[in-house]
Chain A
Amino acid sequence: MSEITPDVVRHLAHLARIGLTDDEVERLTGELGQIVDAVATVRQVATPDVPATSHPIPLGTVTRPDVVGATLTPDEALAGAPERDGDFFKVTSILGEEQ
């Protein structure tokens, strides 16, 4: 049995900053429970002696010469902004009313 409960789903959704309705929480609890049970099979063969692979073709750390190249202008960088204020991205308050 999986450990996925409605409270776990709400907590994960909060961490991922995704609002969910109660119906979505209920549906996802069932679906994620099934999926987690299915993918848990990886634990059968992941024994301590097997090293982890994070990248298929390791190249090591890649650097480039520290040379100034072409970059976006402020207007280009801000062109897709939902809201801007001069050369800044504008958002609503960060900390809420007590700010």
Chain B
Amino acid sequence: MSLVTKSAAELAALLDAREVSSVEVTQAHLDRIAAVDGDVHAFLHLNADALDTASAIDKARAEGAASGLAGVPVAIKDVLCTLDMPSTSGSKILEGWIPPYDATVVARMRAAGLVPLGKTNMDEFAMGSSTEHSAYGNTHNPWDLSRIPGGSGGGSAAAVSAFEAPLALGSDTGGSIRQPAAVTGSVGVKPTYGGVSRYGAIALASSLDQVGPVTRTVLDAGLLHDVIGGHDPHDSTSIPDAWPSFADAARAGQREGAVRGLRVGVVSELAGGEGFQPGVVQRFQEALALLEAQGAEIVEVSAPSFQYAIAAYYLILPAEASSNLAKFDSVRFGLRVTPDGQPTVEDVMSATREAGFGDEVKRRIILGTYALSAGYYDAYYGSAQKVRTLIQRDFDAAFAKVDVLATPSAPTTAFPLGSKVDDPLAMYLNDLTTIPANLAGVPGISLPSGLAPEDGLPVGIQFMAPAREDARLYTVGAALEQLLEAQWGGPLLANAPALA
């Protein structure tokens, strides 16, 4: 267990000091995967070349040509294109598809010497909050194998929380990095929209999608964000500005007095009440009290339009998805199902999409087609875009008064597998607290705030900052993480079941 329980920052230090090799670190994680992934099922595909890559990095390090995170293993959500591994986005329609290019974030990780361990499970095309909509089976929460790992990035969150990988990549369209982090006791960051390239991320809703880090510590998230972030000419929505080091921002949070004078806004509409589990609210309030004791100022703010966020999201997302998923047409790549007789190409498309898409994907494509159709466009899609303006105004008004906003990351702890999968509206409510950040493009982080007293399962706290101010999240996140771990006597994940 010893190498796999270390953070990426610790592993990088050991590698730089030549106390361990990347081959040893990578082998330890492959062994851990072999021991526990039969139960967890975080991975869809393992990288057969991982040890060769690790060996090459050991050689480069010996020659002084590798440093930092080089040699540290990483798991990659299957939504990201990889040249050397299948990229299915959790769908049968892309079964076995190997992309002809790497996503920019994958290319940057490789350039930094990170060692890809494999591809992680997810809800099909990132549509879901439980990973139960994957076409390749459920991922299980390492804290309780009968429960969901969150979604859509349940595989990446389960991989880091089960110590199968120190780092992972996720994507977050309405909470798919932050909600899985919350329910697995790990850390996840959705960067500012445009802060990390979307090139090679199989698109769900292009105005909402962001790629980001999934880790066990705030510093590790900052280290990975520094590797994958920054301007990419391949993505026309990529912000061209220079960014500060987010690892440095996390280290600043570990220093004495880091949160003194910090104004933390509590969004009254998302701080508890109907739908929130009492233990989630309790751990949230305790975390705020810890920050206050360190000199942070806790301010209540109101965001009245947030109550319409889920409704707006479930119009905008399906509308964009119905357009983005039109490319899966059986012509250029992916599945082709040819009906009997003399079918036209349209018949082939319909049969292919019938066979290749799961229920949730069909539901959302048809909903999006409806929202965009003549006669309904203004009433639904147009209205949702106006709500988006109102939500941005609420954020602007709040950030005029405070530096960061805080909410619970998810309204409940991990629920049992199967309990919501047949009730789409109930499933959609899991993203109550994470969706506003996507609609406004602002960054958000989730980190563990404890175990809920009623069920002993992890609870997450979310911070949000103004667009382009991701550094604030790393500073306040690292500060709170340090305060909480001092109380707990170590990381929360030290309390997770051993599994193997």
Binding site for B on A (CB under 8 A): 4, 8-9, 12-20, 24, 28, 31-32, 34-36, 38-47, 50-57, 59, 62, 64, 72, 76-77, 79-83, 89, 91-97
Contact = CB atoms under 8 A, between A and B. Distances in A.
Given A28-B366, A32-B363, A81-B332, A42 B343 contact: no
Contact of A32 (B348, B367, B392): B367
Interface string B333-349: 11110100011111111
Nearest to A37: B425
Interface range on chain B (Cβ under 8 Å from partner)? 35 or more
A60 to B, nearest CB: 10
B97 interface: yes
A41 B344 contact: no
A38 B193 contact: no
A36 B389 contact: no
B363 A17 contact: no
Given A39-B384, A53-B388, A57-B441, 20 more contacts: A12-B373, A15-B373, A16-B366, A16-B369, A32-B366, A32-B367, A35-B367, A40-B380, A42-B308, A42-B387, A46-B382, A50-B389, A55-B441, A56-B392, A56-B441, A76-B100, A80-B99, A82-B330, A82-B333, A91-B348
B476 interface: no
Contact of A83 (B97, B336, B439, B467): B336
B363 A31 contact: yes
A45 B387 contact: yes
Name the prevailing secondary structure of the B interface residues. helix
B315 interface: yes
Contacts of B329: 17
User: Quick one: which of B207, B347, B348, B388 has the most chain A CB within 10 A?
Assistant: B388
B382 to A, nearest CB: 6
B336 A17 contact: no
Contacts of B384: 39, 42, 46
A41 B389 CA distance: 15
A15 B365 CA distance: 10
A53 B353 contact: no
A89 B382 CA distance: 37
Nearest to B348: A92
Nearest to B376: A3
Contacts of A77: 100
Given A42-B380, A96-B344, A80 B354 contact: no
B386 A46 contact: yes
User: Quick one: which of A24, A40, A46, A55 has the most chain B CB within 10 A?
Assistant: A46
Please name the 8 residue pairs, one residue from A and one from B, whose CB atoms are nearest each other, closest first: A56-B441, A80-B333, A19-B354, A46-B383, A52-B385, A82-B336, A46-B386, A53-B388
B156 interface: no
A59 B237 contact: yes
A79 B97 CA distance: 9
A47 B366 CA distance: 26
B97 A46 contact: no
Contacts of A8: 370
B233 A16 contact: no
Contacts of A45: 305, 308, 386-387, 390
Contact of B390 (A16, A50, A96): A50
27 contacts: A15-B369, A15-B373, A16-B322, A16-B326, A16-B353, A17-B349, A18-B366, A32-B367, A35-B363, A39-B315, A40-B311, A40-B379, A42-B315, A42-B380, A42-B386, A45-B305, A50-B389, A52-B382, A52-B385, A53-B386, A55-B441, A56-B207, A76-B100, A80-B100, A81-B331, A92-B342, A93-B345
Interface string B415-454: 0000000001100000000000011111000000000000
B197 to A, nearest CB: 13
User: Quick one: which of A19, A40, A42, A72 has the most chain B CB within 10 A?
Assistant: A42
Contacts of A40: 311, 379-380
Contacts of B441: 55-57
A36 B424 contact: no
Given A32-B366, A50-B390, A82 B382 contact: no
Contact of B194 (A47, A53, A57): A57
B424 A35 contact: yes
A24 B336 CA distance: 21
Nearest to A83: B336
A38 B101 CA distance: 40
